[in-house]
Amino acid sequence: MPRKQRRRTTRTCPEAYDRNADEVQFPSSADAQRVVELDAEAPELSESQFWKEQMPPHYGGES
């Protein structure tokens, strides 16, 4: 019994497709200037208090 031939497909994108179009061409200079400032007077939270604060309101977190 002869084998059934597989269906062949053609390429959907051209060979010269630019795969680097979505990449950033140069790093932003603002990235080096980013700084996170922590509030020294902020109360120290326990781990459970921290995660409770991060919880969305519809899951019972603080709004």
pLDDT more than 90, % of the chain:
5
Q: Tokens standing for 26? A: 């140069």
- Cα end-to-end distance, the chain, whole Å: 70
**In this predicted structure, what is the pLDDT of residue 40?**
84
- How many other C-beta atoms are found inside a 10 Å radius of the C-beta of residue 16? 5
Q: Tokens standing for 7? A: 């269906």
**In this predicted structure, what is the pLDDT of residue 62?**
64
Q: Quick check: pTM over 0.85?
A: no
The residue-averaged pLDDT of 7-18 equals 76
